[in-house]
Amino acid sequence: MSDVLLSKLSGELADLDGQIGQIDQQISQLRRKKAELTQKKQAIERKIELKTNEDSDVVLDRWDRDGFSWSQEANDILRNKFHLETFRPLQRAAINAVMSKEDAIVILSTGGGKSLCYQLPALLAKGLTLVVSPLVSLVEDQILQLRKLGIDASSLNANTSKEEAKRVEEAITRNDSEFRLLYVTPEKLAKSKRMMNKLEKSLAVGFLKLIAIDEVHCCSQWGHDFRTDYGFLNVLKRQFKGVPILGLTATATSNVLDDVKDMLGIQAALVFRAGFNRSNLKYQVLPKKGNEDECVEEIAAIIKKRFSGETGIIYCLSRNDCEKVAKSLKAQVIRAKHYHAYMEPNDRSACHQSWISGKIQVIVATVAFGMGIDKPDVRFVIHHSLPKSIENYYQESGRAGRDGRPATCILYYRLADIFKQSSMVQQERTGIANLYNIVRYAYESRICRRVKLAEHFEEAWEPSWCQKQCDVCEKATDWETKSIDVSEEAKAAVKIIEGRLNSETYETTKHHFPENLNSAKDGSGRITGNKLVELLAKRLKGKRSRECCERLIVFLLLESYLQEDFHYTVYSVISYVVVGSKWRVYNGRDEILMTVDDEKGSVLASSTKSRKRKAVISSDEDDDITVLDD
């Protein structure tokens, strides 16, 4: 090797050594910086732990009071601007917290007055409150009400005119502006750099005072209404430093609450939670008739007999259901109109206003309707179909009785609706678990409805507190329960699933999933839930009614003896029923006990214990299954 080449390589080596040395120094500096930040983080976490473990009543007492420098002005604005005499529970606490620049989350039931928690501070702070809200219809309704009160508020969305957008953008970047509330959707913030730039300018001139996030549970993937664009909101705390964040929702379990705090970066946020119970609401669950015409006739009869001339909402699963039910009700001489997201905006608005004004008695809607509606005298909310979660049901049914007077919430359910809903929610992170929770609520007809709601929202509740304000407690003394062994019926259902494919399933598999055909023939078949009930009722030869078979399948699904298996076509998602995890470890010798009552045969609970078999199933070669009575 020449001296020139050796010298060149030596130079390169020295140069690399120098660069490595610089990197080592940077690494050392970064490690020291990391250690400092870790110590600060741990100190803050300890403070948060102490703060969050503090007794909630003590925290509430600290904030829910007068005595702040703005208290007198807040009371004046409440009376003179909003024309209200007193604050509702938690409103004053939330207002005092955000005025003190504390982050906060407020959990108030539907109709509890969440909007005042950010609308009044907007006037009190004499600056801009940014409201992130998921529904344009809610936004429009609130802006209309605010303008009637003489409060300058607006929204920026696809329907906003260029002139209004220009006016708003100019107003929010001046610290002497009288503009107070700007409503945007999370999608608008996520996709508009111009919007974010204007808000940064608003902060720079000291005009941006508060960020309110309505339906904040949508931030959490554990929530029942997770929306991906809410994920963008995690930049708000970093980008708008010093501006408090106020989250508002009607429903949030502890998992959802923790997830929301982490996602928004407000781990130390104060939490103000109202109790779930609304004593003026009466809850009732009714089995849904298989014939749609008969179901609507029953609903019409209930409206005429119990709610003559009174306002109500009927929630349906799809737009087609809405239109059909509304048409059938009108044929029953009930003033009804449908409402769904596929209507023209003007038609939706006209329908809404007709209902608000009383021109129509009943609005038949999908879940696109109702969030933030300002109609206190809704006397009934009827769910024609099963909602997708307890949270959804609580919010939707909670639109009844916002004036504090008695109102009724009726939920219809049947097996077929479970499969319709499950095929729609199965791709959500907790979609099936949330759906099965509301199925349990509907199915367990001997447990106080409020007990089930309290369990879900992690609150203590005694059935005696219900005061017979649900169908279960109202009839508690009329029913007697007993446990029956349904192990043979369960074996019959599994035999149908595993023994062969019915012709309907075979054709579907042959057409869409030919690769599964052989395995299905070999005993790993699948069948739709409705077909399974039909075949099971035939095979039990009158030993159990079709209604009992339907309840049995739901029971086996809830107890994981069976489970749903989803398959995808170009046009739809198909739900099949297959053998579940609990059946795969079932020893075949234990009782499977299903608790029923004599009037309805409702599923209540189950347990398993060892016993000697008292019944047998005929051989696998025999298609007919005989079940011996216990």
Instruction: State the Cα–Cα distance between residues 493 and 535, nearest whole angstrom.
Output: 9
The contacts of residue 287 (CB under 8 Å, 6+ apart) are 412, 413, 414, 547, 600
Instruction: State the Cα–Cα distance between residues 93 and 164, nearest whole angstrom.
Output: 34
User: What residues form DSSP beta bridges with 483?
Assistant: 595
Instruction: State the Cα–Cα distance between residues 450 and 477, nearest whole angstrom.
Output: 18
Cα 207–Cα 212–Cα 218 angle in degrees, nearest 5: 150
pLDDT tens per residue, range 120-146: 999 999 999 999 987 776 787 789 889
Strand 593-597 with 481-485, pairing? antiparallel
Verify that 250 and 339 share a domain, yes or no.
no
Verify that 285 and 267 share a domain, yes or no.
no
Residue-range definition of the domain harbouring residue 500: 482-607
Contact 618, 625 (CB under 8 A): yes
Q: If you write DSSP's letter for every residue of 64-130 in order, what string do you get?
A: SSS-STTHHHHHHHHHHTS--SSPPTTHHHHHHHHHTT--EEEE--TTS-TTHHHHHHHHHTTSEEE
Any domain includes 310: yes
Any domain includes 516: yes
- Give the burial string for 138-160 (b: 16+ CB within 10 Å, else e): bbbbbbeebeeeebbbbbbeeee
pLDDT at 158: 76
pLDDT at 344: 86
Q: Where are the alpha helices (DSSP H) in 457-541?
A: 471-474, 487-499, 503-512, 517-521, 529-539
- Block means of pLDDT (10 residues each) for the chain, 630 residues, are 65 72 74 69 56 55 91 96 92 96 89 89 96 79 89 88 92 93 89 91 95 86 62 89 92 82 90 88 93 93 95 94 95 94 84 90 83 78 94 90 93 93 88 92 89 86 89 77 87 86 49 46 67 92 85 94 92 91 90 74 42 36 34
> Residue 569, SS3?
coil
Contact 604, 481 (CB under 8 A): yes
Contact 505, 532 (CB under 8 A): no
pTM: 0.73
Residue 548 main-chain phi, psi, to 5 deg: -65, -40
Verify that 446 and 595 share a domain, yes or no.
no
**Phi-psi sector, 358: left (phi>0), alpha (psi -120 to 50), beta:** left
Q: How many CB atoms lie within 10 A of CB 257?
A: 23
Any domain includes 134: yes
pLDDT at 504: 47
Last residue within a domain, chosen from 235, 250, 273: 273
The CATH number linked to 497 is 1.10.10.10
Contact 117, 106 (CB under 8 A): yes
Closest listed residue to residue 554, CA positions, set 453, 447, 456, 443: 443
Any domain includes 396: yes
What element of type H or E holds 24?
helix 3-52
> Residue 545, SS3?
coil
- The tokens for 478 are 């009329």
Instruction: State the Cα–Cα distance between residues 540 and 495, nearest whole angstrom.
Output: 12
Last residue within a domain, chosen from 255, 273, 291: 273
Any domain includes 5: no
Verify that 243 and 177 share a domain, yes or no.
yes
Verify that 239 and 289 share a domain, yes or no.
no
Verify that 464 and 501 share a domain, yes or no.
no
- The tokens for 51 are 């703060």
Verify that 517 and 453 share a domain, yes or no.
no
Any domain includes 38: no
pLDDT at 227: 64
Read off the amino acid at residue 158: A
Q: If you write DSSP's letter for every residue of 384-415 in order, what string do you get?
A: SS--SSHHHHHHHHTTS-TTSS-EEEEEEE-H
Any domain includes 624: no
Any domain includes 571: yes
pLDDT at 501: 46
pLDDT at 190: 84
Instruction: State the Cα–Cα distance between residues 121 and 208, nearest whole angstrom.
Output: 12
Instruction: State the Cα–Cα distance between residues 114 and 214, nearest whole angstrom.
Output: 9
The CATH number linked to 470 is 3.40.50.300
Closest listed residue to residue 590, CA positions, set 572, 573, 578, 606: 606
Verify that 448 and 531 share a domain, yes or no.
no
Verify that 457 and 492 share a domain, yes or no.
no
Contact 217, 371 (CB under 8 A): no
Contact 199, 240 (CB under 8 A): yes
User: How long, in residues, is the chain?
Assistant: 630
SS3 content of the chain, % helix, strand, coil (to 5): 50, 15, 35
Verify that 240 and 338 share a domain, yes or no.
no
Count of domains for the chain? 3
Verify that 260 and 294 share a domain, yes or no.
no
Verify that 253 and 289 share a domain, yes or no.
no
pLDDT at 613: 37
